[in-house]
Structure 1
Amino acid sequence: LESNYFGIDELPKLATEKNNEEQIKMCFEAYHSKSWKTQFD
């Protein structure tokens, strides 16, 4: 099993039963935001 860092435009194939592209993009937005609010499901 391999892991790497990647850019938002370089997403690898995802195991969508665990995470999807929308969730990954939300993480990038949170990282770059100065006032991110935690979202609860």
Structure 2
Amino acid sequence: MQYIVTWTEGEEVFYRFVSEEEIDSLLEDDKEYIIAGLPS
């Protein structure tokens, strides 16, 4: 399944499309994320 991961840094918004296996390597402790699954 593919996911969209979004987060902010200051006033900028970032996003990345990732697979389930990539989520853990992307996350950092000092940030808050919104993670949503994308239907196939």
Larger radius of gyration: 1
More helix by share: 1
In the superposition, the TM-score normalised over structure 2's length comes to: 0.30
Which of the pair has the greater relative contact order for Cα pairs under 8 Å at 6+ separation? 2
More strand by share: 2
In the superposition, the TM-score normalised over structure 1's length comes to: 0.29
